Amino acid sequence: MNFSEYLQSISGVAIYPMFSLLVFVIFFIVLSIRVFRMKKEEIIELENMPLNDSITIENK
Amino acid sequence: MELEKFSYDNKIVRNFAYATMLWGLVGMLVGLWAALELAFPSFNLGISFTTFGRIRPLHTNAVIFAFVGNGIFMGVYYSLQRLCKARMFSDFLSSVHFWGWQLIIVSAALTLPLGFTTGKEYAELEWPIDIAIALIWVVFGINMFGTIIKRREKHIYVAIWFYIGTLVTVAVLHIVNSFELPVSFLKSYSLYAGVQDALVQWWYGHNAVAFFLTTPYLGLMYYFLPKAANRPVYSYRLSIVHFWALTFLYIWAGPHHLLYTALPDWAQSLGVAFSVMLIAPSWGGMVNGLLTLRGAWDKVREDIVLKFMVVAVTAYGMSTFEGPMLSLKNVNAIAHYTDWIVAHVHVGALGWNGFLTFGILYWLIPRMFRTQLYSQKMANWHFWVGTLGILFYAIPMYWAGFVQSLMWKEFTPEGLLKYQFLETVTRIRPMYVMRSLGGVFYLAGVIIMTYNLIATIRQGSLLENEEAEAAPLVKHAKQEKGEHWHRTLERRPVQFMVLSLVVILIGGVVELIPTFLIKSNVPTIASVKPYTPLELQGRDIYIREGCYTCHSQMIRPFRSETVRYGEYSKAGEFVYDHPFQWGSKRTGPDLHREGGKYPDSWHFNHMMDPTSMSPGSIMPTYTWLYDDVLDISSTPAKINAMRTLGVPYPAGYENIANTDLHKQAESITQNLAKEKIQIMSDKEIIALIAYLQRLGTDIKLSKVTTAGNK
């Protein structure tokens, strides 16, 4: 007995993978476009955050 | 703008660092012990508390939740404060979090050897502890979000996204997988049964790896690696993609632990597809980590912190390449149930988690204690002994996995299986000895580190409150013109959390809902009946002793398995299994069709001394089952609980269940008496024999579903 037969008994089952694939693909396309269009200065500001966090008063 | 003065809380970081070191030692020592038990069964000591089945969950829980858990909190509490330019939200909550977590660990260390377990891998802790974990996790969440909200920095650095993703996902996973019905103070049954339980468990199990051992550590990598190398991360863009891709993909990958099992095909394929895709973000992250060191590789030769981190990131790359490969069905057919998987997880645990933790400790402790590391030489020793330990651990395990798998599948020209199961075990025992040696090396390294760090701590003094100053954050209500949308999101932690929650829920829902709602997804088999009261009690002994740590109950549809074990397992056979006991490792043979294979007397003698029936067996002895009287006072409660969960015991059966139990126990005792074995019918071993003899017999009796398949 094949399990896919049981799966077919779910009404509108095709919507699950279609929906999730769509969300997945759209999200990533949008994300990638936006990420690669980020400005260089923004990137530099962001990536230096761990290094700039030590404006702490150095211990004596 | 006026600068605000405040201080970072280093005391809480120190506390978590101490706990990391302590539990690391304990967890690894227990791991070494478990390894020795497999190589030399006498290490089981013949007492219940120290047998492999109880020690192994102690080891996994200790290294995952105690060692790595405290390591996460140590790194998060240090980096979060500095990235937010704010002290932790509440010192009180920090303290509650710390002591609560240690209390949970201690209660785990007590209950697991005592045999209180849910029988679900990496989620063995019983329901009161599960609730405590959820509460403490919420405390951590409030403290973390409180800090993020009162931050003085406009943006939220990528490490913090990883922390947020971790917080949200672990909470969801823990809660969904821990739905269980309490029977007594320390005993509960999983709300799910059979296939559903397996799907939920491995959805949880894989994501425990993903969101407890990986994403928080990636956050730590994105903070501490640039710190140690003193240069920014190679590509911040890549880190954004890395984060979202991991969060999106990981949540789907769980079913790759259940390939060729009775899990529906579509769910298996879904798991494989997403697991293969995972290689992209994982390697993106690894490359991002390693390339951060571009132009600084000369530092790696000198700097002990970077040495550890480079090996850690490399180990991450190796295990995340291997993972997708293992999820391919044809590779999985060979690797599953063997020591290959043990090797795979230990490359991740010893290499990635272990070495990154050590690197962070070597960086953090001297800084917080305002001193230099006590001995560079010792740290170098630790590095090399530890690396050697990983090799001595992993290589024999890979070897053992390949050898055993090939032996399991080898047929003679006459079409018979070439090797008895036991032969495949005795063949790889030398590898188990080698592996223990690897464990000794690795542990020796950790002992050296502990000594070195204690000496460092002694020569320095802790800066409990590190003074700092920063300008307060001006509230930006609206998105600035021309600003990137993701940067806007980065300023809104709560929305960020909600979005990542939605992302992981989509994966979880699509994966879990169909099997939940649709009963027909698990075809029922008419001949499958609920367990008798004695079998149910026996099953609870099976769970208590952790038999699932070495024995699977899931025969895959391969010729090499159906010839060795019998008819392959069907989803419908497990509908009354709360929890499922499919297992994930065959240190011993599969037991799904164990029922009726041997006489009762065989099991009686075998459990007393396995080598008497199977010379060379590495199974521990279970002598206490012959002295301890079965607690039948729990029978009515157990029957009631099972009925609540949907097992069709007739109304009022709980009142007469023990009468049936006595009857069945008597008949087993009489069977044994025929073989000249004298034992009282009220001992625990009788119940266990009843359960073992029941295993997989429902289908044998019917024969209907097997026709045409053999």
The per-residue pLDDT for range B26-69, each reduced to its tens digit, is: 999 999 999 999 999 999 998 999 999 999 999 999 999 999 99
The rounded mean pLDDT for chain B is: 90
Q: Judge whether B655 and B549 are in contact, CB under 8 Å.
A: no
User: What is the C-alpha separation between B521 and B514, in angstroms, rounded?
Assistant: 8
User: What is the C-alpha separation between B337 and B583, in angstroms, rounded?
Assistant: 8
Task: Give the range with max mean pLDDT: B113-117, B198-202, B488-492.
Answer: B113-117
Please give the pLDDT value at position B539. Answer: 96
Percentage, residues of chain B above pLDDT 70: 94
Choose among A20, A32, A55: nearest Cβ to B470.
Answer: A55
Cα distances (Å, whole numbers) of residue A34 to B164, B439, B486: 22, 47, 8
Q: Judge whether B118 and B199 are in contact, CB under 8 Å.
A: no
Tell me which residue of B133, B76, B77, B75 sits closest to B105, measured CA to CA.
Answer: B133
Sorting pLDDT into bands at 50, 70 and 90, what band is B479?
low
Q: Is B4 left (phi over 0), alpha (psi -120 to 50) or beta?
A: beta
Q: Please give the residue that has the higher pLDDT: either A59 or B160.
A: B160
Please give the pLDDT value at position A26. Answer: 87
pLDDT at B702 over 60: no
User: What is the C-alpha separation between B628 and B630, in angstroms, rounded?
Assistant: 6
pLDDT at B263 over 90: no
Q: Is B122 left (phi over 0), alpha (psi -120 to 50) or beta?
A: left
Q: Angle, to 10 degrees, between the axis of helix B215-229 and the axis of helix B279-291? A: 20
Tell me which residue of B13, B3, B125 sits closest to B80, measured CA to CA.
Answer: B13
User: What is the C-alpha separation between B542 and B197, in angstroms, rounded?
Assistant: 17
Residues in chain A closer than 8 A to B155 (CB atoms): 45-46, 49
Contact A23 B506 (CB under 8 A): yes
Please give the pLDDT value at position B571. Answer: 85
Please give the pLDDT value at position B192. Answer: 87
Cα distances (Å, whole numbers) of residue B334 to B141, B326, B338: 41, 9, 8
- Quote the minimal CA–CA distance from A23 to chain B in Å: 9
User: What is the C-alpha separation between B146 and B88, in angstroms, rounded?
Assistant: 8
Contact A53 B484 (CB under 8 A): no
Contact B521 A57 (CB under 8 A): no
A33 touches chain B (CB under 8 A): no
Sorting pLDDT into bands at 50, 70 and 90, what band is B459?
very high
Residues in chain B closer than 8 A to A45 (CB atoms): 155
CB atoms within 10 A of CB B344: 21
Contact B244 A17 (CB under 8 A): no
Tell me which residue of B501, B567, B514 sits closest to B705, measured CA to CA.
Answer: B567
Chain A residue with Cα closest to B235:
A47
Residues in chain A closer than 8 A to B245 (CB atoms): 28
pLDDT at A28 over 80: yes
pLDDT at B707 over 50: no
Percentage, residues of chain B above pLDDT 90: 75
Mean pLDDT of B154-179: 91
Cα distances (Å, whole numbers) of residue B52 to B372, B561, B620, B661: 42, 25, 7, 29
Please give the pLDDT value at position A1. Answer: 33
Mean pLDDT of B94-104: 97
Task: Give the range with max mean pLDDT: B177-191, B436-450, B484-498.
Answer: B436-450
User: What is the C-alpha separation between B111 and B127, in angstroms, rounded?
Assistant: 11
DSSP letters for B392-411: HHHHHHHHHHHHHHHHHH-B
Residues in chain B closer than 8 A to A49 (CB atoms): 83, 153, 155, 157
pLDDT at A58 over 50: no
Helix (H) or strand (E) holding B380: helix B376-409
Chain segment A41-52, per-residue pLDDT in tens: 888 888 888 887
CB atoms within 10 A of CB B72: 26
Chain A residue with Cα closest to B709:
A1
pLDDT at B520 over 70: no
Please give the pLDDT value at position B260. Answer: 82
- Quote the minimal CA–CA distance from A45 to chain B in Å: 10
ipTM exceeds 0.85: no
Please give the pLDDT value at position B377. Answer: 96
Sorting pLDDT into bands at 50, 70 and 90, what band is B353?
very high
- Rounded to 5 degrees, φ, ψ at B137 are -65, -40
Sorting pLDDT into bands at 50, 70 and 90, what band is B484?
low
Provide CB contacts within 8 A for B673, sequence distance 6+: none
Count of H helices and E strands in chain A? Answer: 3, 0
Contact B83 A49 (CB under 8 A): yes
- Rounded to 5 degrees, φ, ψ at B181 are -100, 115
pLDDT at B488 over 70: no
Q: Please give the residue that has the higher pLDDT: either B693 or B515.
A: B693
Q: Please give the residue that has the higher pLDDT: either B267 or B458.
A: B458
| Residues present in chain A in total | 60
Q: Residue for token digits 């863009």?
A: B237
Tell me which residue of B524, B683, B685 sits closest to B600, measured CA to CA.
Answer: B685
Probe site for chain A from B4, B76, B161, B266 (most A CB atoms < 10 A) = B266
Please give the pLDDT value at position B265. Answer: 79
Please give the pLDDT value at position B605. Answer: 95
Look at the alpha carbons of A31, A36, A37, A43 in this order and tell me if their dihedral is positive or negative: positive
- Quote the minimal CA–CA distance from B577 to chain A in Å: 20
Please give the pLDDT value at position B523. Answer: 66
Sorting pLDDT into bands at 50, 70 and 90, what band is B706?
very low
A21 touches chain B (CB under 8 A): no
